[in-house]
Structure 1
């Protein structure tokens, strides 16, 4: 009887254990096994809760009871948000088990042996307990309660309040909402911030979001979620580098790399999860939002997107891929093909990868770019930039494309999709069978006759065109007076590359009768306008020009209109009405660098923004000097002529306009052009003018970017020169009135290696001495007195990018700055005594017999000689 009772008791015990078990609070201990079925009744699959039941751990299925995919996960109880999963790429069935042993944690698929689908790494000491904290951290503890493994150190797609994501680690988005397998999207912490990647290619960075504030330029060490938002920290966690400020809250908050390709921050509020932050805001910036080669369209005033395929392609819905309509062509599927075709994409179509990678080649012909892709097995397409002749390769696989309306920046970059010839389809195509034998006999007779009559018709049309052009030329000479434009149509002559022609009435209406003036300079006033398609433009009225005919004007405009570069303001069109000439430019929404850098209002430019502006401006000048068909010397590089677009992207303006000046102005500009503080010494001596004059002016602008103030200005000693330094540099750098000639001060500090003295005090330490020293050294190399010692702008770009070593300033060619500083101080004192305007420039004079450059004490007002502003 006793034995029967014991057997019955054991059977009943095993039955109860197999059906359901009570969950545990905060701790479980080794030699413990859990499955979803074992805890399904009491805790819906959870075997462990944190002390206050804020989080739970167990084997769960995101797809509900009917799913066959179970993951060992940690879930926030109130919001049902999964914050961590162990076996994301190896789900188990409902009978799968989680085992806790002295060796660690493991997940095993029941019935498939004891080989785990996931396990913790080899641990330093035996496991004593498993603990789930109220912060959501799962810990393995040794017998001294010391942590030997934590889930917080191995995040999957999410981090929560108080958790850190260290430098070099990433959050990997899942495949979908119900499939936790690792997807193609990833958020990575790097020294400069946070980047989002798709299949290893960058497509967005946290700095791009309007709510991301850059507080410092120290290297980033980790990302964390706080009660006041998101923060990227540096300097051992003591300094905020980048922050996303959110409403302060102690509620549950998480940051997640979502399966949709967005980086999101959510907070539990009012019994539901609320999205507080999401990026990118433009859905078309997500690399696979429309599938392979799908073109994403997004209205400016809408968050809704639509997808389409490129011309000559159609959607394969099953594969979410756009494929060629022609059966004789297909996307490359093998490296064995030797012949390829390239399908050209429409204008305005861009690809995310070209914004974050450098071209593989510069100065390349399109055919050579295609050949490079054809020889590369992993290449699936190319993008080609016509102006710089740059070649970008798209490797491994294509994502989605995007089409931005009214964006002239994208029209210079043309995409090409690599296609393979389908030999079987060509061979089986009915059009290729007996083509020669079935060719109609009547076509053999009619084609030669048609060609003969076509040649006669073309000859007649050519003769008629020449006659009209001769008549128009004679008529123009009879009607057009010297110094004025005729009223006839511009179609009497043909000039390749001429931009859009606007009627004067169109521009009157666009500018509201030239109501809003946004700038002025040596070439005339600039007005803000809005075209009928809602595109913002800047309309410049050219005054006192020296052109004597419409053809001469259009020839110069065609040259300027054909110059396209991402760091040059694009000329959209023109208008000619009598003596009045108008140029229509793209509108720069952040105004000039002069207003942004020196303005009293508005945010301070951070160091990274200043660096990007300096590099972009250098690239624009390098293109004018060596990338155009005709070399162009700007002659008036200064902050007023550096305009800022979205994300403070710099664009040089007013290049190539000197040929439009009148004879009076052009003769003065031959004597000297430029503005005080940016004038190269060769303008003052009889030295020939070259592109190196622009290099000098650029160096002066670079020094102003460092200091945040004009090189030639009055400053209080407390803001420009420390009391410790004042005594040793007062004779050369400052005057008794507190005047500072900053280039000379920069030279003094460079000799002493004291670069932090030169930084804009508004940066408040958010820049390092090495970063300042790099720009100061480049600037001083640019302002050498001898033009031959100055680097080319292409070399300057190389110094910025690190492909060319930093130059060493030659002190013997910089001593002239001491004479400049003395003259500047004298002239400023004279201005103060006589009440004259501070805005003056040196006048050019003959060089001394010794050959050295010296400045005359005579001055002329800057408005008489300065270039456009």
Structure 2
């Protein structure tokens, strides 16, 4: 500690009997009274005791240091960052680097005469006039000492040496070795290195990840970084750093959920910088070494170029260039923001949640286009507010909301993203993305077409008569419409007539045939023959009046608001026609009932044929199914007017018709989910390993997610067995005891994760060992090699390394040479395989349907015969199946 001799003399006389005196190495003597006590004499230690005060002005070295850790690694000071003379803070400082690792009164600085006081009630900070600035919260017992530990933790202790309060539990912007940032806590950036006030950026720990946010908007996740490795699917409890890396830990710290490996270092910090970047650095000698940064791309930082500033990556990745987009110029009054070129336009101020005082007159609202190739940081982390709408509707949504400041519209999918409450920087995306941005602006009322908005006096006279005329006209149209409805009802052959809202459906172009509910009830014999179940409802076999067989899906998880949205989505799905996609023949929307009518696939789903005990699929049939499925997905991704990502590619959703013609089902239905059920796709851990790793990390989902799933299906088509099987069969074609087919295990027994075996056989060039043994050699080594290599390319852990489906079709057709899989992006399969084997030993009494999606989620499962562990989100493999 550092105190004046006068204070030390008084302290030692009073506190010599304190039990912590031994630890603090307090000298066993007292100083004689001195008056006056010069402030230039100081002495330091690791403890101070109640009735102690400190200020920067009081100490000789002008740093305000009054407390040191035992070995002098850290000190506590009343400190002024940057040597400015206005703002002083109670800080914990790493001595060797003079780096602040914690501050108390960061939002309430004091002058150099401000005081830190330690009393029996805790720590208090007051300004020079004695006004309160900051204090520790109420404590359970009286304080006996304040200690600064060797890890940099400031701790209040009671008389029994128990911790009452510690600074590690109240982090600011920095995490040090030995400190835990628990879920629910966060780091906040500072305004600058000199101003420690809370800035605009925040780092938070979620149940599965680390996220960076600006104004409540996410702009980065740890799981997105290529250096971050997902090890398990446990719930994250806290983040920590040590001598070897950065870790997210769960299960009382015994399980690593995500890790970032770093070089060995005895001292490092993880800091949310005032720039908005999360930086992990190590200190050695006299230098800091930056080891990890997120996001690396500074254009991903929300306010890097100010409001509506355009961030363009420069020649070097760390030197982006700021400018203003087309239609905007730099604000002369604020150089970190852009304003419209047209001075008759102004940027609106968003309303708050409790007031509609800023509700806008829609006639004053206009939109300035940003242009193609420009994107917004938040678009990758939020869902569109609407799907399948046109641009004008998207703009109307924004115009009607005073909180909306702009939109991004995705032309291919009709997705509408809104920018609410605050506007950050935009960025040059450097891609041919068809997302187009518009900034909402207000036209001056006196500049609308050069005309003023004067209200003519004659309007005051005519307005009452105009109102009466409009009422009469509306009454006439209402009467006529009611009469037409009754006439239509009399002529209808259906038992129930559509409502006026149903009639509006026919104004939406592209709708398929609309069926009456009673008609479908009759066709399915009152929904008698159940042929499948899925996440969207049950599927029944039916026969229409013309004797056509159909599959009728009763949707039970409808999420769209109103019939119009339902019709819009059905129109999109109904207009997609491809030989390898199941055709939507029609629909029914009557009352609360929503049904879809599909063509009937007489050979059922691929999983029944591939894994069942019936006749074996011949090799050519497998090739045709693989190619047909790939063509169907390629069409969804790039062939139809609006791109569709399936999100659930698996054998259950690949249906077979005559001559084993493969057709994909359930495409486009994810848009019909309720908002609260959107997590269905992110928790589908029961679909046997078809979901890409980005699902678990809540990263952006793209068409490459479907590519991963197709790769996993392709491996199953080759092997005739499920990728995740608790019991692996021997290579005997007579053993049909498992629906999972036959094993390719070299040992022939025990649990197995087939993708890992496929990777190992690829490395050894032993491709024929991967083919379904029931084929009895009726497959060439070259053809098996091609399919396995294509599959491995599809399941690369990094989405950007996966080919698109058009390329996959080309490789399967032989027009494009099959690529060489990238081994560095397939090593995750080894970890999955090990964890699957461990989990399978525990889960050996479970049915195969109940296996979790990813082996790493099974690292330490404890289950009973009654069902899977409750700690994991779970959906059985049959719950998301398509029509059979």
Give deviations 1:679-699, integer Å, cap 9, x for gaps.
62433599xx97638799x99
Q: Distance in 2 between matches of 1:269 and 1:76?
A: 12
Q: Describe the shift of the 1:189–1:317 C-alpha distance in structure 2 as closer, same or farther (beyond 3 A).
A: farther
**3-state DSSP of counterpart to 1:371:** helix
Structure 2 residue aligned with 1:110: 128
Alpha-carbon deviation of 1:315?
A: 0.8
Q: Distance in 1 between matches of 2:76 and 2:281?
A: 21
Q: Distance in 1 between matches of 2:626 and 2:108?
A: 58
Choose the corresponding residue for 2:658, options 663, 678, 683.
683
Give deviations 1:389-434, integer Å, cap 9, x for gaps.
22211111100000122x122xx2111111122346x49x9x7799
Q: Describe the shift of the 1:716–1:750 C-alpha distance in structure 2 as closer, same or farther (beyond 3 A).
A: closer
Q: Distance in 1 between matches of 2:42 and 2:348?
A: 57
Structure 2 residue aligned with 1:29: 49
Contact 1:76 1:82 in 2 (8 A): yes
Give deviations 1:725-763, integer Å, cap 9, x for gaps.
x9997176557997799xxxx9xx999655465766687
Q: Distance in 2 between matches of 1:633 and 1:717?
A: 29
Q: Does 1:281 align with 2:270?
A: no
Give deviations 1:278-313, integer Å, cap 9, x for gaps.
111111000000000000000475421101112221
Q: Distance in 2 between matches of 1:151 and 1:230?
A: 20
Structure 1 residue aligned with 2:388: 363
Q: Distance in 2 between matches of 1:75 and 1:657?
A: 56
Q: Describe the shift of the 1:344–1:228 C-alpha distance in structure 2 as closer, same or farther (beyond 3 A).
A: same
**3-state DSSP of counterpart to 2:441:** strand
Aligned length: 546
Q: Describe the shift of the 1:680–1:69 C-alpha distance in structure 2 as closer, same or farther (beyond 3 A).
A: same
Q: Does 1:63 align with 2:63?
A: no
**3-state DSSP of counterpart to 1:345:** strand
Q: Describe the shift of the 1:87–1:23 C-alpha distance in structure 2 as closer, same or farther (beyond 3 A).
A: farther
Contact 1:127 1:143 in 2 (8 A): yes
Q: Describe the shift of the 1:187–1:626 C-alpha distance in structure 2 as closer, same or farther (beyond 3 A).
A: farther
Please give the residue correspondences for 1:69-218 in structure 2 after superposition, counting only pairs within 5 Å. Answer: 69-111=87-129, 113=130, 115-218=131-234
Alpha-carbon deviation of 1:377?
A: 1.9
Q: Distance in 2 between matches of 1:168 and 1:658?
A: 44
Structure 1 residue aligned with 2:513: none
Q: Does 1:413 align with 2:398?
A: no
Q: Describe the shift of the 1:87–1:679 C-alpha distance in structure 2 as closer, same or farther (beyond 3 A).
A: closer
Contact 1:280 1:286 in 2 (8 A): yes
Choose the corresponding residue for 1:263, options 278, 293, 316.
278
Structure 2 residue aligned with 1:710: 716
Alpha-carbon deviation of 1:273?
A: 1.4
Choose the corresponding residue for 1:627, options 572, 576, 600.
572
Q: Describe the shift of the 1:263–1:704 C-alpha distance in structure 2 as closer, same or farther (beyond 3 A).
A: closer
Structure 2 residue aligned with 1:246: 262
**3-state DSSP of counterpart to 1:322:** strand
Contact 1:380 1:395 in 2 (8 A): yes
Q: Distance in 2 between matches of 1:717 and 1:316?
A: 58
**3-state DSSP of counterpart to 2:388:** coil
**3-state DSSP of counterpart to 1:79:** coil
**3-state DSSP of counterpart to 1:416:** strand
Give deviations 1:696-724, integer Å, cap 9, x for gaps.
9x99x964627885156267999751699
Give deviations 1:583-628, integer Å, cap 9, x for gaps.
xxxxxxxxxxxxxxxxxxxxxxxxxxxxxxxxxxxxxxx9998636
Unmatched 5+ residue regions in structure 1? 1-9, 435-621, 644-649, 660-673, 786-869
**3-state DSSP of counterpart to 2:37:** helix
> Structure 1 length normalisation: TM-score?
0.56
Structure 1 residue aligned with 2:37: 16
Contact 1:721 1:757 in 2 (8 A): no
**3-state DSSP of counterpart to 1:367:** helix
Choose the corresponding residue for 1:341, options 356, 360, 366.
366
**3-state DSSP of counterpart to 1:63:** helix
Alpha-carbon deviation of 1:642?
A: 8.9
**3-state DSSP of counterpart to 1:37:** helix
Q: Distance in 2 between matches of 1:717 and 1:398?
A: 46
Structure 2 residue aligned with 1:38: 58
Q: Describe the shift of the 1:720–1:182 C-alpha distance in structure 2 as closer, same or farther (beyond 3 A).
A: same
**3-state DSSP of counterpart to 2:657:** helix
Give deviations 1:186-208, integer Å, cap 9, x for gaps.
11000111000001000000011
Q: Which moved more, 1:55-64 or 1:763-772?
A: 763-772
**3-state DSSP of counterpart to 1:777:** coil
Contact 2:271 2:278 in 1 (8 A): yes
**3-state DSSP of counterpart to 1:241:** strand
Choose the corresponding residue for 2:737, options 713, 720, 730.
730
Alpha-carbon deviation of 1:226?
A: 0.9
Structure 2 residue aligned with 1:592: none
> Structure 2 length normalisation: TM-score?
0.55
Q: Describe the shift of the 1:274–1:364 C-alpha distance in structure 2 as closer, same or farther (beyond 3 A).
A: same
Q: Distance in 1 between matches of 2:51 and 2:198?
A: 30
Structure 2 residue aligned with 1:721: 727
**3-state DSSP of counterpart to 2:392:** helix
Structure 1 residue aligned with 2:247: 231
Give deviations 1:253-287, integer Å, cap 9, x for gaps.
10011100100001111312111111111110000
**3-state DSSP of counterpart to 1:24:** coil
Q: Describe the shift of the 1:761–1:143 C-alpha distance in structure 2 as closer, same or farther (beyond 3 A).
A: closer
Q: Distance in 2 between matches of 1:162 and 1:226?
A: 7
Contact 1:759 1:772 in 2 (8 A): no
Alpha-carbon deviation of 1:630?
A: 3.1
**3-state DSSP of counterpart to 2:291:** strand
Q: Describe the shift of the 1:295–1:32 C-alpha distance in structure 2 as closer, same or farther (beyond 3 A).
A: same
Choose the corresponding residue for 1:398, options 396, 415, 423.
423
Contact 2:728 2:743 in 1 (8 A): no
Give deviations 1:154-193, integer Å, cap 9, x for gaps.
0000010011000111100101111111011111000111
Q: Distance in 2 between matches of 1:368 and 1:287?
A: 27
Contact 1:256 1:265 in 2 (8 A): yes
Contact 1:217 1:766 in 2 (8 A): no
Structure 2 residue aligned with 1:373: 398
Structure 2 residue aligned with 1:52: 71
Q: Distance in 2 between matches of 1:764 and 1:160?
A: 31
Alpha-carbon deviation of 1:364?
A: 2.7
Q: Distance in 2 between matches of 1:623 and 1:336?
A: 29
Please give the residue correspondences for 1:276-355 in structure 2 after superposition, counting only pairs within 5 Å. Answer: 276-299=291-314, 302-319=317-334, 320-333=336-349, 335=358, 337-338=360-361, 339-355=364-380
Structure 2 residue aligned with 1:653: 634
Q: Distance in 2 between matches of 1:163 and 1:418?
A: 45
Q: Describe the shift of the 1:296–1:641 C-alpha distance in structure 2 as closer, same or farther (beyond 3 A).
A: farther
Q: Describe the shift of the 1:641–1:301 C-alpha distance in structure 2 as closer, same or farther (beyond 3 A).
A: farther
Q: Distance in 1 between matches of 2:49 and 2:82?
A: 30
Give deviations 1:52-84, integer Å, cap 9, x for gaps.
1110101101120x4201111100000011000
Choose the corresponding residue for 1:222, options 238, 241, 245.
238
Please give the residue correspondences for 1:520-599 in structure 2 after superposition, counting only pairs within 5 Å. Answer: none
**3-state DSSP of counterpart to 1:774:** coil
Contact 1:140 1:147 in 2 (8 A): yes
Contact 1:23 1:49 in 2 (8 A): no
Q: Describe the shift of the 1:262–1:642 C-alpha distance in structure 2 as closer, same or farther (beyond 3 A).
A: farther
Contact 2:76 2:91 in 1 (8 A): yes
Give deviations 1:547-577, integer Å, cap 9, x for gaps.
xxxxxxxxxxxxxxxxxxxxxxxxxxxxxxx
Structure 2 residue aligned with 1:563: none
Q: Distance in 2 between matches of 1:262 and 1:192?
A: 20
